[in-house]
Amino acid sequence: MSTIAYKNGALQMEDVPLEKIAQKHGTPLYCYSAKRLTDNFRAYQTTLKDILPEDKFTVCYACKANSNQAVLHLLGTLGAGADVVSGGEMHRALKAGIPHGKIVFSGVGKTAEEVETAVKNDILQINVESEPELERISAVAAKAGAKTRIAFRVNPDVDANTHEKITTGRSENKFGIDIKSAPALYRKAKGMSGIVPSGVAVHIGSQLMNLAPFAEAFKRIAALVGELRAQGNDITTVDVGGGLGVPYQGETPPDVKKYVALIRDIIAPLNVHVILEPGRSIAGDAGVLLTRVQYLKEGGDKRFLIVDAGMNDLMRPALYDAYHAILPCSAPAPSDATQTYDVVGPVCETSDTFRTNMELPRTGQGALLAIMTAGAYGASMASAYNTRPLPAEVLVSGDAFDVIRPRQMIEDIVAADVIPERPV
Ligand SMILES: *Cc1c(COP(=O)(O)O)cnc(C)c1O
């Protein structure tokens, strides 16, 4: 059964009516299903166990999708590692109990301080995205008397056929090193005092809806591993990145089993430790954003539902023109007539629009709506723009639910500003 469904006239997550959570903790508010997070993670973990011994792979959950420590902790107890893209995420993952030996550090702009933290914590591997970064890592590691395991993130120049703002594997993107220059860079890295070039990494983009680009990228990576080995490199890890899509609009995303079959056919024969970095496909459909209608504004030929969540709470529609389904939390009667609405937030930006011209059973002020599939790149991207406090977050498990992040206090936002005492 789905973890989000109508039951007795109310939209429930697991066994809890969403209205009950909203009444207790207010809106806007993110709710995540522990069961769905678990099932999504296990889909990877159990399928991989069928094809590889347990010490031959690590599923490093991409923390940026949803970096709440309760989520990281839950996944950590199931065996997850973490893919982090900043010193802040590394800190969070460690604090949530993810073992240092299961943490991969990705990202194009790592500072010396962040690299130092990674070296000191002896993480699984740093994914290097440029030659100057390689030099920085070697210098930091050598100074600490350490040798750091690195993988170059290679850009295989495949088109992931996804939204242009989330494709990363084409040669014109800022990510990774050109696959053609990889052999020379590994040769260089091998001679550096602070570096052990032991891995190859790739991540071609996000929200991929078919497997062909993965197959193409994996083949190019496998060929590269062969070439690197022939030139004397001891390549022991391949990091295949993340990127599997989730259904936002009823689409059918690639099946995890078929994705893992690609790993079995193309990567496993290399006899390496395989690292995966799924983010969205673990957290995306496990979360909803609850929001209450403040006003029904009718005028001209438009009918606006002005809700209390804004683009600061969920940025995806404004940032990527992303589509999110929106459901009323009390089940409409089959006889209810539908009307056409624009669902908009309170922020002073025209792009603060969740949906335009959507059909909903007639609704209005006070109604609770669930913005669906908001578990990934929702709360983790939220800001306090318009001095709107960051939303609360709740984790649902069976018939229980806990606040895993209280709503930010306006006092805390305001208290952080400092008015200098210097006379003007
Ligand atoms: C964002 C990111 C991921 C996760 O991507 P999803 O599409 O959320 O699975 C994995 N690896 C890297 C390097 C990333 O930047």
Domain ranges of the chain: 4-32+284-415, 34-278
Instruction: Determine the distance separating the centroid of ligand 1 and the alpha carbon of 359, expressed in angstroms.
Output: 33
Q: What's the mean pLDDT in 309-322?
A: 97
Closest ligand 1 atom to 280 CA: 8
**pLDDT tens digits along 211-238:** 999 999 999 999 999 999 999 999 999 9
Instruction: Determine the distance separating the centroid of ligand 1 and the alpha carbon of 40, expressed in angstroms.
Output: 16
Ligand 1 binding pocket includes 375 (Cβ within 6 Å): no
Ligand 1 binding pocket includes 279 (Cβ within 6 Å): yes
Which residue type is seen at 325? Answer: A
Ligand 1 binding pocket includes 278 (Cβ within 6 Å): yes
Ligand 1 binding pocket includes 277 (Cβ within 6 Å): yes
166: pLDDT confidence band, cut at 50, 70 and 90?
A: low
174: pLDDT confidence band, cut at 50, 70 and 90?
A: confident
- Whether the per-residue pLDDT at 131 is higher than 90: the answer is yes
- Whether the per-residue pLDDT at 1 is higher than 70: the answer is no
- Residues 6+ positions from 114 with CB-CB distance below 8 Å: 86, 87, 90, 105
Ligand 1 binding pocket includes 259 (Cβ within 6 Å): no
Instruction: Let me know: does 268 contact 225? Beta carbons within 8 Å.
Output: no
Ligand 1 binding pocket includes 129 (Cβ within 6 Å): no
Ligand 1 binding pocket includes 83 (Cβ within 6 Å): yes
Ligand 1 binding pocket includes 203 (Cβ within 6 Å): yes
Instruction: Determine the distance separating the centroid of ligand 1 and the alpha carbon of 164, expressed in angstroms.
Output: 15
**pLDDT tens digits along 255-301:** 999 999 999 999 999 999 999 999 999 999 999 999 999 999 998 88
Instruction: Determine the distance separating the centroid of ligand 1 and the alpha carbon of 63, expressed in angstroms.
Output: 9
Dig out the tokens for 375 from the structure: 């578990």
Dig out the tokens for 251 from the structure: 């689409």
Closest ligand 1 atom to 106 CA: 13
Decide which of 88 and 1 is more confident: 88
**Mutate which of 203, 238, 259 for ligand 1 pocket (most atoms within 8 A of beta carbon):** 203
Decide which of 105 and 172 is more confident: 105
3-class state of residue 395 by DSSP: strand
Residue 159 is predicted with a pLDDT of 80
Closest ligand 1 atom to 64 CA: 1
- Domain covering 34-278: architecture: Alpha-Beta Barrel (3.20)
Phi, psi (deg, nearest 5) at residue 202 = -150, 145
Instruction: Determine the distance separating the centroid of ligand 1 and the alpha carbon of 332, expressed in angstroms.
Output: 37
175: pLDDT confidence band, cut at 50, 70 and 90?
A: confident
Instruction: Determine the distance separating the centroid of ligand 1 and the alpha carbon of 85, expressed in angstroms.
Output: 9
- Whether the per-residue pLDDT at 346 is higher than 60: the answer is yes
Q: Closest Cα partner for 298 from 364, 369, 366, 368?
A: 364
- Whether the per-residue pLDDT at 35 is higher than 60: the answer is yes
Ligand 1 binding pocket includes 116 (Cβ within 6 Å): no
Instruction: Answer whether 4-32+284-415 and 34-278 agree in fold.
Output: no
- Whether the per-residue pLDDT at 342 is higher than 80: the answer is yes
Q: What's the mean pLDDT in 371-395?
A: 98
Long-range contacts of 100-108 (CB under 8 A, 24+ apart): 100/124, 102/58, 102/60, 103/60, 104/60, 104/201, 104/239, 104/275, 104/277, 106/153, 106/201, 106/203, 106/277, 108/133, 108/174, 108/175
Q: Closest Cα partner for 75 from 46, 106, 96?
A: 96
Ligand 1 binding pocket includes 25 (Cβ within 6 Å): no
Dig out the tokens for 142 from the structure: 């050598």
Which residue's CA is the nearest one to ligand 1's atom 10? 242
Closest ligand 1 atom to 206 CA: 7
Say whether domain 4-32+284-415 belongs to CATH 1.10.3720.10: no
To the nearest 10°, report the CA torsion of 365, 367, 368, 370: -100
What are the b/e assignments for 217-239, b being 16+ CB within 10 Å? bbbbbbebbeebeeeebebbbbb
Ligand 1 binding pocket includes 242 (Cβ within 6 Å): yes
Closest ligand 1 atom to 153 CA: 13
Q: What's the mean pLDDT in 249-254?
A: 94
- Which residues are catalytically annotated? 348
- On average, the pLDDT of the chain sits at 96
Instruction: Determine the distance separating the centroid of ligand 1 and the alpha carbon of 341, expressed in angstroms.
Output: 34
161: pLDDT confidence band, cut at 50, 70 and 90?
A: confident
Could you identify the residue written with the tokens 């259904």? 247
- The CA distance from 402 to 18, in Å, is 13
Instruction: Determine the distance separating the centroid of ligand 1 and the alpha carbon of 241, expressed in angstroms.
Output: 6
Task: Look at strands 29-33 and 287-299 and give their pairing.
Answer: antiparallel
Q: What's the mean pLDDT in 124-138?
A: 97
